[in-house]
Structure 1
Amino acid sequence: MVPVRRPDVVIVGAGLFGLVAADRLTALLPGAWVMVLESTDRLGGLCASTTCPHTGVTYNPYGTHTLATSNPRVWRYVAGRTRMISHQRRTYADVGGELVPLPLGLEAIRLCYGDASLTSEKARVLVERDAAPHHTGRAPASAEEAALAAVGPRLYEMFVRGHITKQWGTSPDRLAPGVFSDRFGIRFTPTAGHRTAARWQGIPAGGWGDFFGRLVDNRDITVLRRHAASVRDLPPYTHACIVTTSIDAWFDHDLGTLARGRICVDWRLTDRHTAPATATTTYPGPDVPYYRTHTPEHLPGQPANPTEKVLVGYEHHGDGPNAIDFVLRTPDNAALADAYRTHGRNADGFVFAGRGTTFHDDMGTTIAAALALAAGLAKTIERSPAWP
């Protein structure tokens, strides 16, 4: 009887991390067979893309995704598999109908303080004076403390509090400082856009879905539509299993359950004259129920839309058709996540990686980590007596 061949590596989750790791492993180990288990019908996880049948616009159901990186290895990897369109992500805050570029800069300060003539020097003096009472001499204990110490109460109330509260579903005083410091900031010059220090920024010409489709167009990669919540759900494999799904669920919540929030993006065809004028707009004010909109028609590379309807995604906290569960960045969660990562390192033959073990990584960081893991795992497999 001919033995049935086992996959060399099983990857749980066909998200960005899992698919990049699968592609790279098959490139480093010619002849290796990688099986990817995915419970949904979309490739790419939160970075998946599809096409609107009414407008022809390509969009990300879970929100807009732009690759921004200074890592040449990451950029070469992606650009070597799909044509990239240069695009610097820009976000605007809608404050009372006025669009203010983000991150917080001179434009936001001028609006907040009601003085369109403020110079950079005067703006700095005003903000630092307002923030000074919040410099406690110790590290901030919450996102609210970090924000007040950085931008003062006026900018905090106008741009930060509402955004964080609507996104995370809880008050900034209950969240870790990184919720503010990793996503916000302050500058005293005109805003030039997000991630301006990144050497490369762009999106695939055919959308991220096209990129993921190219990765799995590989006879050595098999994607199975199969749910895998624990070890008992895995097929037999030869060398290793990479788990990119939630690490606490994988271990049946043995150490406890990570507290999570949920956001979703509701996509609707909106009349052109009421649709947002920018690709990504935030709404920090309490009078708007959502905190962000996505209008992919404004992104480069999109076909002309001759209709009077514009596809708009309205992002808000809570349930919806494109729900995203995320781990709340709280001190208790950070400690529990570290405990699970330690627990995971003791699981023989398993590697826990990707979004399942972190709070949030951007696309560049995720791709770099997947490439590094694949390189290290390939070397380990090559040294195994069971290879090839």
Structure 2
Amino acid sequence: MVYDYLIVGAGFAGCVTAERLASSGKKVLLIDKRPHIGGNAFDEFDQYGILIHKYGPHIFHTNSEQIFKYLSKFTEWHHYEHRVLAKVDDQLLPIPINLDTINRLYHLDLDEESLKDFYEKVREPREFIRTSEDVVLNTVGRDLYEKFYRGYTRKQWGMDPSELSASVTARIPVRTNRDDRYFTDTYQVMPLHGYAKMFKKMIDLPNIELKLETDFEAIKDYVQASHIIYTGPIDTYFNYRFGKLPYRSLRFEHEHDDSIQQCQPTGTVNYPNDFDFTRITEFKHLTGQTHSGTSIVREYPQSEGDPYYPVPRSENEFLYKKYKSLAEEEKNVTFVGRLAQYRYYNMDQVVGAALSVVEKLLEAGSV
């Protein structure tokens, strides 16, 4: 069989590019080394009948009407605004930090204007913002940094915030109002019947052939394809020529409790200072599912295992750019996605990148 495109990886990047190209009349072979589609966003019903995210919570949010409308072709939506609490000083407090967080933590009665003054008094100004530690200290000062950020970051990344680029903690806003939503995007929704069903509908096209439990290295010399779209780790593609790019991985501990309908007040509770895990997510909050029991997942960051998060440090970015230079020299190969572009993308950003890649390929008439 001769294909126009071989797409490596059936997560967001792979499925979106496969759908767009197949819908344009291209013959596509989509492969994934796992036994399922959807990548890390894969979800399924556990043995108790609760829809869970196998690889930790994936909450969809975007400000892009284009991306929302595109995905809406493949799913109905459940409206969901994610809220997170952090266990600090034996209290469950809103994170991102807001007016209620400060008032409850310090037993104060501030309003929005006086909270701005509070932040100004406690912050440790930094002339140059280079690290994640700089970001937080410059914004909210030492005590809030120690209580909410430092321990969580050290668990998540295996290093101190002072060793990580500013982008890590810059993702988390600090608020002066009472808005306790984790995200403020225009569109905050979850696929009504789950991500896996959405992906299945997306790639249910006669021009797409799907092969699961298939490794790229094992078939690349046998498949006849005019162009490759690669969504896996870029250093793996080049056989680690310059050394391995650092990633953080996760271990997931799933648990079910039949005795209660709900075990925590919000979808996710962070544990910045206690335990080896970073957070617990209770899935029924996310999906809106009704069930007599409940299922949760604890996340344990680790250095070994499947790559989840590119580690944002300047030396890692330098190493990535060496691989990017090799990628730009590759003929008829396109790299897209979190692992292929070594970027801490949100899901909507991956969709946007994939749509952009296909648009350029079709405009160029590469196949």
Q: Is TM more than 0.5 here?
A: yes
Aligned to 1:148: 137
Q: 1:239 aligns with which of 226, 239, 243?
A: 226
Following superposition, the deviation at residue 274 of structure 1 comes to 8.6
Q: Secondary structure at the match of 1:7?
A: strand
Where does structure 1 differ by over 4 angstroms across 4 or more consecutive aligned residues?
none
Asked if 2 retains the 8 angstrom alpha-carbon contact of 1:283 and 1:292, the reply is yes
Q: 1:169 aligns with which of 158, 161, 164?
A: 158
Aligned to 2:66: 73
2:94 matches 1:104: no
Mark the CA change 1:278 to 1:323 in structure 2 (over 3 Å): closer, same or farther.
farther
TM-score under structure 2 normalisation?
Answer: 0.93
Aligned to 2:332: 349
* Paired residue total: 364
After superposition, the C-alpha distances for 1:197-230 in whole angstroms (9 at most, x for unaligned) are x221101111101101112222211111211148
Following superposition, the deviation at residue 152 of structure 1 comes to 0.6
- Tell me, which stretches of 5 or more residues in structure 2 are unaligned? none
Mark the CA change 1:283 to 1:240 in structure 2 (over 3 Å): closer, same or farther.
same
Following superposition, the deviation at residue 319 of structure 1 comes to 7.5
2:200 matches 1:213: yes
Deviates more, 1:270-279 or 1:258-267: 270-279
Asked if 2 retains the 8 angstrom alpha-carbon contact of 1:101 and 1:191, the reply is no
Amino acid at match of 1:155: L
Aligned to 1:19: 15
Aligned to 2:43: 49
Q: 1:371 aligns with which of 355, 359, 364?
A: 355
Asked if 2 retains the 8 angstrom alpha-carbon contact of 1:20 and 1:215, the reply is yes
Alignment of 1:1-388 (within 5 A): 5-27=1-23, 29-30=24-25, 32-54=26-48, 56-112=49-105, 114-131=106-123, 134-138=124-128, 140-182=129-171, 184-196=172-184, 198-225=185-212, 226-229=214-217, 233-270=220-257, 272=260, 275-285=263-273, 287-302=274-289, 304-307=290-293, 310-318=294-302, 324-356=307-339, 357-381=341-365
Alpha-carbon distance in 1 for matches of 2:353, 2:35: 25
Q: Secondary structure at the match of 1:354?
A: coil
Amino acid at match of 1:84: W
Alpha-carbon distance in 1 for matches of 2:247, 2:42: 22
Mark the CA change 1:238 to 1:324 in structure 2 (over 3 Å): closer, same or farther.
closer
Mark the CA change 1:329 to 1:283 in structure 2 (over 3 Å): closer, same or farther.
same
User: Alignment RMSD, CA only?
Assistant: 2.1
Following superposition, the deviation at residue 96 of structure 1 comes to 3.9
Q: Secondary structure at the match of 1:370?
A: helix
Alpha-carbon distance in 2 for matches of 1:194, 1:274: 20
- Tell me, which stretches of 5 or more residues in structure 1 are unaligned? none
Q: Secondary structure at the match of 1:355?
A: coil
Asked if 1 retains the 8 angstrom alpha-carbon contact of 2:86 and 2:272, the reply is yes
Alpha-carbon distance in 1 for matches of 2:307, 2:55: 7
Amino acid at match of 1:77: Y
Alpha-carbon distance in 2 for matches of 1:365, 1:259: 21
Mark the CA change 1:274 to 1:171 in structure 2 (over 3 Å): closer, same or farther.
farther
TM-score under structure 1 normalisation?
Answer: 0.88
Asked if 2 retains the 8 angstrom alpha-carbon contact of 1:229 and 1:249, the reply is no
Identical residues among aligned pairs (%): 24
Mark the CA change 1:257 to 1:125 in structure 2 (over 3 Å): closer, same or farther.
same
Alpha-carbon distance in 2 for matches of 1:360, 1:176: 12
